[in-house]
Chains A and B, each alone.
Chain A
Amino acid sequence: MAPRLGSEADHIRDKARRDLLTLLEGVRGKKNLVISKDLAGPVGLFVKFSVLQEYGVDRIFLLENANVDSTQRNVIFLVHAEKVHQIGTTAEQVKRLQENGTVEHDFYIFWVPRRTLLSNKILEDTGIIGDVNIAEFPLYFCPLEQDVLSLELEDSFGDLYLHKDPGCILLAAKALMQIQQRHGYFPRIVGKGDNARRLADLLLRMRKELEAEELSGLDDSVGGLLLPSLAIESLIIIDREVDFATVLLTQLTYEGLIDEFVGIKNNQADVDSTIVGAAVPPQASQGSSSTPQSASKPALKRKIQLDASDQIFSQLRDANFAIVGELLNKVARRLESDYESRHSAKTTLELREFVNKLPAYQLEHQSLKVHTNLAEDIMRQTRSDVFRKILEVQQNYAAGSDPTYQHDTIEELIARDVPLKNVLRLLCLESCMFGGLRPRELENFKRQILQAYGYQHLLTLRALEKMELLQPRSSTGPVVLPGGGASVGIKTNYNYLRKNLRLVVEEVSEKEPKDISYVYSGFAPLSVRLVQCVLQKPYILSLTKGGPTPPTVNTVSAASPGWLGFEDIVKSARGSTFSIVQKGDEKAARARQTLSGSGGVKTVYIFFLGGITFTEIAALRFIARQEAPQRKVVICTTGITSGGKMIEAAMEKGSFAKAA
């Protein structure tokens, strides 16, 4: 199995599709498929409804709707085995079908990604474990793009930081193990943050377990896998906890803003059809990009596929929103001139060529229309008074000016009944950037929030405190990190880092970005700066020393292990710092090296534990482009997040109103 480079995403996609279809094949005859809501999206990423139909799936139901009927003898459940209530609902529905169905059913449950003790227990307790066939569907990473792999765990943020549930760390470790088993071990694991540390430890342990298994002959896989990989340079793990503030800022790239205003889920956005126009039946020739959902949804919302298959979007997605209009304009002009080219076609051959290209033009034209409308709508929202005020406060915080000057604005926002999410976001941002608010001011704000939005948000505020997003400045409570010793910084010290890593860059050019700070119009996300500390040392050095920026550094910085050179700076970010070298059998490694020659382009895996924003992805892609001659960058994460989603994890949904 020669690992083909760069096809990791394809490989995972293929594997997931094969696994699922094999499982479906194992069930004879026609069947109904019941799928939980949070899995429907990811599954739609790699397999189409028509394919499922070929494999005998008659109808698909959502688990949450609880409307499975007994039209088919076989009923298949595809459910996450980590979430208690989902298992519960599954069990309930099986029971219900057993009781009132006139037909006898065969039940199959495919646990994603693995069968858990918990699921067994619940099925036992409901007394149906004997009546169902259970299988596992090992879906870990879902490839969102060629360079983005996501576990698509929506709740991972809340789980990890609010409920302190390390479940998603385990899943992440398993997912990374799959990569290791394919390519060999990560020669080096670099990381930042306590949860990142835990993930790395898990990886080391799993490796040991695997080795032990192999030694005892239990596993009949090839022994050669125990080598550190030649194709991979390193794995960089960044814990979300290290850099909350970046997420709290409003994203300013095109894709980021769509996510802020509309929300993107599994590469799809539900946009009001009044904005983008009603769904057009996909073109017969190129309709493959639209998913089965888009056809079945009511006309009010229209699903828009947002991924690299859309050429225009892939040009726009990572650009700062300020220039999106200009880019769109350019595309429109080009398209027009392309259309015009038909007049210049003289011979029939040329004409035929043009006709052949026509479907592609039309497709492009359509997507242009969609994005122009979408951009216009976003523009309208960004021009609003409230949005600008929020942004202004954020920029001031990011620049590190005295936070108390902003309090007036925030108070005004509260009084004007701006959505609580946005207000909390600002307050949390201040708390993160300046190590908490002054106790008296915090109390003042809390009171105003409770009065404005209702007292149920006492719970919201409490949750935010637990996540250490909103704190009094000299935290008196028992908020000591369990893992972090006294020597490690408990909070991220932005004041210090701002200076030493040049987080704030003035004079950004949004058009021709020279630094990653363009994504936030002048603020470089700390998380990505940390990645640069590992990958682009000379660049960071030149930035902080203020010297002339060298053009892309050509010296292969292979001699830059881990955090070397930045230990002191990195220390003032929160959580533990580590850099582990995974060594294999030296002789074998050398033998293999001589066999395969020197590596060439190596891959760096960057894992964001607890979620990543589209803006950070844009920044990482920017780095990837700079590093293209030497390395490839693959971004892995537990899920796509945003400031809004972060706060929502803590929000109390109930209210004192009776209607709720």
Chain B
Amino acid sequence: SNILLSEALKQTEVQSKIEKLHLAAHLLSDSKDPIALFQQKSLSEAAHLLKIQETLDKEIADGPEFSGLGVNETIYRLIRSGYGKRAQKIQNECKVSEKTYWWARLRALVAKRDWGELEEL
């Protein structure tokens, strides 16, 4: 599945990346080894994230801005551009811890110079 993962990295189209990831995850689906289980879960998460980012790219950004970023970075950028609701949705979907979310939020608000909202925290 690691080979498939590196292949997925090389793909240029988002759709084919997701396909490869699913394939890689599928490969492990029969395994009971805890390490493999973790791997499988992460792979599907990766695919899921790519899908979310794809829609974000379509709806918010003009070009490919979000796809390929890490979860935290995605949240960070969303807040910076003022999409707090969406950021919170991702936090829930990807099970990001409170603490991480707050750090991302803090950094984003500082970058945005949104002192008003900062004071509300």
Contact = CB atoms under 8 A, between A and B. Distances in A.
B67 A414 contact: no
Interface stretch (A226-234, A453-461, A505-513, A617-625): A453-461
Contacts of A454: 68-70, 73
A417 B38 contact: no
A656 B100 contact: no
Contacts of A417: 72-73, 76, 107
Nearest to B24: A458
Given A452-B72, A654-B6, A654-B10, A415 B67 contact: no
Contacts of B50: 656
B99 A658 contact: no
A248 to B, nearest CB: 23
B22 interface: no
A452 B70 contact: yes
Q: Which of B5, B43, B104 has the most CB of A within 10 A?
A: B5
Contact of A415 (B5, B45, B100): B100
Interface in B58-115: 64, 67-73, 76, 94, 96-97, 99-100, 102-104, 107
B9 A451 contact: no
Interface residues of A, number: 31
B68 A660 contact: yes
B67 A656 contact: yes
Contact of A656 (B38, B68, B99): B68
A265 interface: no
Contact of B46 (A414, A415, A439, A455): A455
Interface string A435-454: 00001000100111011111
Given A452-B71, A454-B69, A477-B35, A656 B5 contact: no
B42 A455 contact: yes
Interface in B36-51: 38-39, 42-43, 45-46, 49-50
A462 interface: yes
A442 to B, nearest CB: 9
Interface string A3-28: 00000000000000000000000000
A462 B9 contact: no
A412 interface: yes
Q: Give the interface centre of A414, A416, A456, A657 by most chain B CB atoms within 10 Å.
A: A657
Contact of A456 (B9, B96, B100): B9
A165 interface: no
B34 interface: yes
Interface in A496-532: none
B70 A453 contact: yes
Contacts of B49: 455
Contact of B43 (A443, A452, A458): A458
A213 interface: no
Contacts of B70: 450-455
18 contacts: A412-B99, A414-B100, A415-B102, A415-B103, A439-B34, A443-B38, A446-B38, A447-B42, A451-B71, A452-B100, A454-B68, A454-B73, A455-B46, A652-B9, A654-B9, A656-B9, A657-B69, A658-B14
Given A656-B17, A657-B64, 13 more contacts: A411-B100, A415-B103, A439-B34, A446-B38, A446-B42, A448-B97, A448-B100, A450-B70, A451-B71, A452-B71, A454-B68, A458-B5, A658-B64
